[in-house]
Structure 1
């Protein structure tokens, strides 16, 4: 099986590589369009700012390639947000794979933004959460998130209820960092590779 991690202008890729190494999954880290198109599985991870990252994707043409993929694609953190229609972070037009807008967390008394640390997810409805215990804890670092919508397959509560995971056709996404979410994150990554 050929797994590709998309190489683009976003951080945190090394921890994704370590996570795949831990589960014994081989991978290629590339921005080569033909390598990406020929992969069995594609992972679109990252940490970054929406407008800068989308500008880079447009510059190298990946903004057109990613939505056209037919194999299973898994976006995490900024990868998930850029798969949505629009982000309030610098008013950024994104790829529109999920027809939902990414919103900034509301400023509420006692609630710190960014949402950072361990929080539980609930209302699972995804093949990625097979074998994951109810109300499992995963690790988040973000100030923006899509609200609960038609594509939501797991949710989380922080100031408001938001989409912790999304799914549409061959596209899967998680707002949290699977690669640093312990056994739960490892299970989700293993499930993705088995799709």
Structure 2
């Protein structure tokens, strides 16, 4: 069963609606005691990374999240929280990945935030992307991106510059796109995560 980390900065409704459609059992994690009943976790996130980190710290869940040994997936800002630092709010984050979240540079022909469908290209084999073809489209909404580092990049996307569309290290995964809003392949990814 999936535990959704609830800290006030997540798009809970879209995510829970997708899990319900897929028949994947889930519950909410509000306190450290809640964590024991789940075998994997999702950290959702929408909005400002610095503010999201502040809210997460207020829950008292940060040490427990850092100590997790079960599969854990960060989505959008939830993925950015897994990195060491974000330029958004000049914020230190969970530092589970020693990489940074950076603001897209200004470029006249590109709008920020990066909003809409974009192709995702696999860089490593991983069960998270099983039955998802290379170059599949996923739905993005973000003004900050995770710097590309081949050590941790599971898949990449290009918009203004190349960046990590998903990251992986040990039991921690992150996706910059919204699988719950990405149609069939997004649902496939959520199903895959429920079986990792």
User: What's the TM-score once normalised by structure 1's chain length?
Assistant: 0.96
Alpha-carbon separation, structure 1, partners of 2:36 and 2:157 = 32
| Runs of 4+ in structure 1 over 3 Å off | none
Per the alignment, residue 129 of structure 2 pairs with 129
Greater CA drift, 60-69 or 148-157: 60-69
Per the alignment, residue 89 of structure 2 pairs with 90
Post-superposition Cα deviations, 1:91-125, rounded to whole Å, max 9, x if no partner, equal: 01000011100000111121100000000000342
Greater CA drift, 108-117 or 48-57: 48-57
Alpha-carbon separation, structure 2, partners of 1:109 and 1:51 = 27
Per the alignment, residue 143 of structure 1 pairs with 143
Per the TM alignment, residue 38 of structure 1 is displaced from its structure 2 partner at its CA by 3.7
Indicate whether 1:181 and 2:195 are aligned: no
Alpha-carbon separation, structure 2, partners of 1:137 and 1:188 = 12
Work out the number of aligned pairs and report it: 194
User: What's the TM-score once normalised by structure 2's chain length?
Assistant: 0.96
| Contact 1:5-1:30 within 8 A present in 2 as well | yes
Post-superposition Cα deviations, 1:69-100, rounded to whole Å, max 9, x if no partner, equal: 11100110000001100000010100001110
Aligned residue runs from structure 1 range 46-61, under 5 A = 46-61=45-60
Gaps of 5+ in 2: none
Alpha-carbon separation, structure 2, partners of 1:192 and 1:124 = 18
Per the TM alignment, residue 19 of structure 1 is displaced from its structure 2 partner at its CA by 0.6
Gaps of 5+ in 1: none
Q: Secondary structure at the match of 2:70?
A: coil
Per the TM alignment, residue 26 of structure 1 is displaced from its structure 2 partner at its CA by 1.2
